[in-house]
């Protein structure tokens, strides 16, 4: 099964963070299953329902964009991961609000807490989450040696095998799919003199692949020190539980103010963990993720690494997702021993190098404990996936997975073809500001989605859910009066 969560900020025609509340035409951000908000009130989050194929998930994401574009009036959706122009004062970045119910207030308090912990500017960064679950019938047919049965509690090791191996390849993903090499001066990144300046308000890194994945991006130094363990489901639950239930003395200072955070623990809830790869499970209302994982095992895997790709109106390149699917399966099929402290440090160091210098020709990093030319190693890895891509395309009358692979190999040969390379070239070669480019792309996307045709079945579904979401929120708030 496949699914997406994709964030995007509502902006004014000038490229400024929208000051307006969640549009009525999008329903209740607390209850709408398709359209909610993330950290700040204008930061939309689109959610697709689980689909059997990538094609169906991408189609549904497009339909949500069409619906939203028609519901917005004088606003657009920002097309980059790094934010649009932000207010001068951080406290003027509004927290998402969800009404007067206890649940709604709790969600806002949680956001106030992470705002204090990490800074509101950092939390306006947006991205793409790809959710993937194993198809047991396909899995048992193609990998009988794994001895997987229909009990979901018997397959968590498969997900953790994938996670560990994805960590071992994380620098390839950041190079191939990073699309945030620049930002506007209003982001106020620390150590601004480290970056190159373009025109009056744009800053960039010459070889940067993803500021979003860097220390100025959607990361946390405190969380990086947490001993999250991916050896097994039991080890993961124990280590995540420690983070959720253990007090961080530094956060006690925040608690001296009423309603500023849910608690002073290292993580207010499990969802605060900003890991690139997270094992998840569907939860009933009021149930903690830790309890759901313990009771039902891992339901799906969430990959949070890809940046928004501005070349595509939906923010997602379908061939990127095809390659991610291949990579997940490859990580599953290969041996995945536990990550040692030494290996984890080497991976982190290599990843940082690629974040900052990934497009620099001749760069070398440690891969599997050996120093290798990075671009050669990445190309060799991709070429090794050809047989798997052929198998995935077999009998489908399509070469989708082979084409997905071919496009990634081209990026290793020409770094300027990466999303980060394309975006930076657009800014520098055309002498444009970051905000200027974002507004132009956003306007084009509005025109594109305005001319797209609705899927009548999904239109009926999302309109029904939008109206229902408002009724459900009102009912919840009325019951608590």
* Mean pLDDT calculated for residue range 98-110: 96
Query: Token pair of 434, please?
Result: 């970051």
What is the percent of the chain with per-residue pLDDT over 90, rounded to a whole number? Answer: 84
- The chain-wide mean pLDDT, for the chain, equals 93
The answer, yes or no, to whether residue 454 has pLDDT greater than 80, is yes
* Mean pLDDT calculated for residue range 425-430: 97
- Of the chain, the end-to-end C-alpha distance in Å amounts to 40
- Report how far residue 292's alpha carbon sits from residue 388's, in angstroms, rounded to the nearest whole number: 33
Closest among 390, 443, 410, 425 to 317, alpha carbons compared? 410
DSSP code, position 5: E
- Report how far residue 343's alpha carbon sits from residue 341's, in angstroms, rounded to the nearest whole number: 6
Query: Token pair of 188, please?
Result: 């106020």
Q: How far is CA 6 from the centre of its chain?
A: 7
Coil, strand or helix: which one is 76?
Answer: strand
Biggest CA–CA distance in the chain, Å, is: 65
Contacts of 355 (CB under 8 A, 6+ apart): 174, 178, 208, 209, 210, 213, 214
Contacts of 374 (CB under 8 A, 6+ apart): 171, 175, 354, 358, 363, 364, 365, 367
How many residues are given for the chain? Answer: 481
Radius of gyration of the chain (CA): 22
* Mean pLDDT calculated for residue range 183-210: 96
* Mean pLDDT calculated for residue range 288-311: 94
The predicted-structure confidence for 243-266, as pLDDT tens digits, reads as follows: 999 999 999 988 777 789 999 999
Closest among 442, 223, 195 to 315, alpha carbons compared? 442
Question: Residue 220's pLDDT is what?
Answer: 83
The answer, yes or no, to whether residue 173 has pLDDT greater than 80, is yes
* Mean pLDDT calculated for residue range 49-58: 93
The answer, yes or no, to whether residue 139 has pLDDT greater than 70, is no
* Mean pLDDT calculated for residue range 5-20: 97
Question: Residue 224's pLDDT is what?
Answer: 86
DSSP code, position 421: H
Tell me phi and psi for residue 197, to 5 degrees: -110, 140
Helix/strand/coil (H, E, C) string of 130-185? Answer: EEECCCHHHHHHHCHHHCCCCCHHHCHHHHHHHHHHHHHCHHHHHHHHCCECEEEH
Question: For residues 109-139, b (16+ Cβ closer than 10 Å) or e, as one string?
Answer: bbbbbbbbbbebbbbbbbbbbbbbbbeeeeb
- Report how far residue 314's alpha carbon sits from residue 77's, in angstroms, rounded to the nearest whole number: 10
Query: Token pair of 181, please?
Result: 């090499």
Q: What is the pTM of this model?
A: 0.94
Residue 317 near residue 309, CB atoms below 8 Å: yes
- Report how far residue 103's alpha carbon sits from residue 105's, in angstroms, rounded to the nearest whole number: 6
Question: Residue 255's pLDDT is what?
Answer: 74
The answer, yes or no, to whether residue 410 has pLDDT greater than 70, is yes
DSSP code, position 347: H
Question: Residue 152's pLDDT is what?
Answer: 44
- Report how far residue 132's alpha carbon sits from residue 357's, in angstroms, rounded to the nearest whole number: 30
* Mean pLDDT calculated for residue range 270-278: 95
What is the percent of the chain with per-residue pLDDT over 70, rounded to a whole number? Answer: 96
The answer, yes or no, to whether residue 151 has pLDDT greater than 50, is no
Question: Residue 137's pLDDT is what?
Answer: 60
- Report how far residue 18's alpha carbon sits from residue 97's, in angstroms, rounded to the nearest whole number: 14
Question: Residue 259's pLDDT is what?
Answer: 87
The answer, yes or no, to whether residue 134 has pLDDT greater than 70, is yes
Q: How far is CA 424 from the centre of its chain?
A: 21
Concatenating the DSSP letter of every residue in 194-246 gives GSEEETTTEEE-TT-SBGGGSTTSS--HHHHTS----S-HHHHHHHHHHHHHS
The predicted-structure confidence for 362-395, as pLDDT tens digits, reads as follows: 999 987 778 899 999 999 999 999 999 999 998 8
Place of tokens 């949500």: 64
The predicted-structure confidence for 466-481, as pLDDT tens digits, reads as follows: 999 999 999 999 998 7
Pick the CATH number of 2-479 from 3.30.590.20, 3.40.50.12780, 1.10.600.10, 3.40.50.1370: 3.30.590.20
């Amino acid at each position: 099964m496949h699914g997406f969560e994709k964030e995007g900020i509502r902006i004014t025609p000038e490229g400024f963070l929208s000051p307006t509340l969640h549009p009525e035409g999008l329903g209740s951000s607390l209850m709408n299953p398709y359209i909610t908000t993330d950290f700040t009130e204008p930061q939309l989050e689109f959610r697709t329902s689980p689909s059997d194929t990538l094609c169906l998930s991408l189609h549904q994401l497009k339909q949500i964009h069409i619906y939203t574009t028609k519901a917005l009036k004088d606003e657009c959706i920002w097309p980059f991961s790094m934010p649009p122009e932000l207010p001068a004062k951080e406290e003027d970045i509004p927290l998402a609000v969800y009404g007067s119910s206890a649940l709604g207030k709790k969600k806002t308090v949680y956001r106030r807490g992470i705002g204090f912990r990490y800074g509101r500017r950092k939390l306006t960064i947006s991205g793409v989450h790809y959710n993937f679950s194993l198809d047991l019938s396909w899995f048992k047919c193609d990998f009988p040696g794994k001895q997987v049965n229909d009990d979901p509690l018997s397959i968590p090791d498969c997900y953790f095998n994938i996670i560990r191996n994805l960590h071992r390849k994380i620098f390839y993903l950041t190079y191939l799919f990073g699309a945030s090499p620049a930002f506007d001066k209003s982001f106020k990144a620390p150590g601004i003199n480290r970056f190159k300046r373009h025109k009056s308000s744009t800053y960039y890194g010459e070889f940067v692949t993803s500021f979003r994945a860097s220390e100025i991006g959607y990361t946390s130094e405190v969380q990086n020190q947490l001993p999250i363990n991916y050896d097994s489901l039991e080890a993961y639950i124990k280590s995540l539980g420690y983070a959720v239930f253990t007090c961080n003395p530094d956060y006690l200072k925040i608690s001296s103010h009423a309603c500023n955070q849910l608690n002073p623990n290292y993580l207010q809830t499990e969802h605060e963990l900003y890991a690139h790869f997270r094992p998840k499970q569907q939860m009933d209302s009021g149930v903690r993720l830790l309890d759901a994982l313990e009771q039902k095992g891992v339901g799906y895997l969430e990959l949070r690494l890809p940046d928004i790709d501005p070349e595509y109106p939906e923010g997602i390149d379908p061939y990127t997702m095809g390659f991610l699917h291949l990579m997940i399966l490859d990580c599953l099929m290969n041996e995945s021993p536990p990550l040692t402290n030494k290996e984890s440090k080497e991976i982190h160091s290599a990843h940082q190098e690629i974040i900052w210098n990934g497009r620099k020709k001749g760069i070398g990093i440690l891969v599997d404990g050996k120093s290798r030319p990075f671009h050669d190693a990445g190309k060799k890895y991709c070429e090794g996936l050809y047989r798997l891509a052929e198998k995935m395309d077999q009998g489908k009358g399509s070469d989708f997975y082979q084409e997905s692979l071919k496009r990634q190999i081209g990026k290793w040969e020409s770094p300027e073809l990466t999303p980060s390379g394309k975006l930076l070239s657009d800014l520098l070669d055309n002498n444009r500001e970051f905000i200027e480019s974002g507004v132009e792309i956003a306007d084009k996307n509005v025109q594109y989605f305005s001319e797209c045709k609705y899927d009548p079945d999904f239109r009926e579904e999302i309109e029904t859910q939008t109206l229902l979401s408002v009724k459900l929120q009102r009912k919840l708030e009325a019951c608590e009066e």
